[in-house]
Amino acid sequence: MSYTDVFFILLLACLCLLCRCLRPWPAIREWTIVVFSLVIVASWGIFPLVLLLAVAAINFVAVGVALSVSPTRQRAILIAAIAFDIAALGFFKYAHFIAANLGIELGTNFGVAALGIPLAISFYTFHLISYLVDRMRRNTPPLGLRQYLFYLCFFPHLIAGPIVRTWQLPSQLGRVRRLRGDIVLGVHYFVVGFFLKTVVAGNLANAIDPFWTKDTGAALSAADHWVVAFLYYCQIYGDFAGYSLMALGMARLLGYRLPANFRAPMLASTMQEFWRRWHITLSRWLRDYLYIPLGGSRQGKSRAIANILVTMLLGGLWHGAAWTFVVWGAMHGIGLAAERILGLQRKFDRFWQRIPWWLCTQLWVTVAWVFFRSSDLSGALDFIRAMMRFDGWGAFAVHGRLILPLLIGAGAVLHHAAPIGLATVPRRYLGTCLGVATGVLLVLDLIVYAPNKVFIYFKF
C-alpha cells in the first residue's frame, strides 16, 4: 500500500480521528498506531511483517538479557545483536551481489539466487543499530515494549525514513499531545510532499525514463544528456523529499515530530554542505556510527580523508547491491576529501565567492546521479561520455520532448526557493501565505496527479 493511494489516505484520516478520541489515553493511542503500522507492512506481504517482528524480537530480548549481566557480558551481547542485524541485512541485500562477483573472479557459479530486499529492512536495521549502540554507550535508557515497537515500527518513518534516533521519538511517548498547531502543519507538510511526489517526481519519471534506455539515449545531444541528468536530480529530490515531508506531516497529524530530512540541497556550495542538506538523518547516522568510530578527524588529515572515503563507500553500498551505487558513494567521498584537502569547510564571506564552488558542487552531484540512476556501470559510462560529446553546435540543442519535463522540474527548483521567499513575508501574513500555498498545491495534486509509482527509496 503506497502512501499516495487514496485508500491509504482515507485510512490515515480515520486513524487521526481515532487517535484524537484516544488523546487522554496515550498508551492505548500508541498501541493503536503500532498495530496500524504493522497492518501497513502486512499490506506489502506477510514475509516482510514476519521478518520485521522476528528481528525486532531478537533485538528486544538481547537488550533485556544484557540488562541482567555484567558490563563486559552486556557489551558482548549487544555487539552480537548488532552483528546479527548486519548479517540479516547482508543476507537479503548483498548475498547475491557478493556471490556473483566472487563467481566472476573465481570462474564459477555459486548458485545464490537474488532473494529480493524485504520492505524497510535497510531503515529498521539502522534504527536497531542506533538503539543498540546508544545502549552500549549508555546514552539512552532501555525502552519498554510499547516504546520499542513504536520507535521501530512507526509507519511514517518505517519504510523510507527519516532515520530517527532513540532520543528523538521515544521521549515524546506516554504524554497527552497538543494537536491544534500540529494538525495545520501536518496538513501543509503532507500536501506539499504529495505535490513533490505525484506532480513533480511522478510526471518526471513518466517523461524521462525512456531517455535512460540506450536506444533512445543514442539520439540525444550532449545538452540533452545534461538536461536528463538534471531532471533526474529533480525527480529523486521530489520523490524522496516529498516522501520525507509526507512522513513529517503524517507524524504531526498524530501529534509527533520527526526530524527534517532535506534543506534545499540544490543551494549547497560544497559537498559537505550538500550532505547537511540532503538525507540529513542518514548523513548524521553515518557520521555518528561510522565516521567518528573510525577515528573521524582526530588522527590527522590523511586518516580523516581515508575515513571519509570508507564512510561514503559504505554509504553508497547501503543504497543498493550494485557497483553503480559504490561509484556514486565513491564520487561523493572524493568530493568531500577534495574539499578537506583544499580547506573548503569554512563558510564563504561573500556571496560571489560561493558561485564557482556552488557550480562545481552541483555539476559533480548531477554527474554522480547518473551512476545512481543507471542499471549498470557500462550504461552509466556511456551516458557520461555522451554528456561530454560536444562535437558541433548540434550538441547544444535541447530535444523538444524535454521542454515540458523542464517546466515540471521547475517545481522542485522552486521548492528550494520557497523558504527564502517566506522569510521576506511579515509574520502576521505568514499563516495566510502558507494556507494559500497549501490550497494551490492541493488543487494541483488533484488535477496533475501522475499515475502511481512506488517511492524510489522504498526499494532500499
Contact 145, 60 (CB under 8 A): yes
Query: Which of 230, 155, 160, 237 is closest to 195 using CA atoms?
Result: 237
> What is the DSSP secondary structure assignment for residue 141, as one 8-state letter?
P
Classify 399 as helix, strand or coil: coil
Distant-in-sequence contacts of 295-301, Cβ < 8 A, 24+ apart:
301/340, 301/341
Contact 263, 277 (CB under 8 A): yes
CA distance 159 to 141: 25
Contact 7, 39 (CB under 8 A): no
CA distance 167 to 207: 42
The length of the chain is 460
- Choose, from 319, 332, 415, 416, the residue flagged as catalytic: 319
- Say what the alpha-carbon torsion angle 238, 244, 245, 249 is, to the nearest 10 degrees: 150
Distant-in-sequence contacts of 9-17, Cβ < 8 A, 24+ apart:
11/36, 12/250, 12/253, 15/254, 16/253, 16/254
Cell 580523508 belongs to which residue? 305
CA distance 74 to 343: 42
CA distance 455 to 119: 12
Contact 281, 163 (CB under 8 A): yes
188 assigned to active site? no
- What's the chain's Rg over C-alpha atoms? 23
Count CA atoms closer than 13 A to 102's CA, side-chain side: 10
Q: Three cell numbers at 346? A: 569554512
CA distance 174 to 144: 11
Q: What is the DSSP string of 372-391?
A: HHSSSHHHHHHHHHHHT---
Count CA atoms closer than 13 A to 261's CA, side-chain side: 27
Q: Please report, as a single letter, which amino acid is at residue 349.
A: D
CA distance 226 to 366: 8
Q: Which residues are catalytic?
A: 319
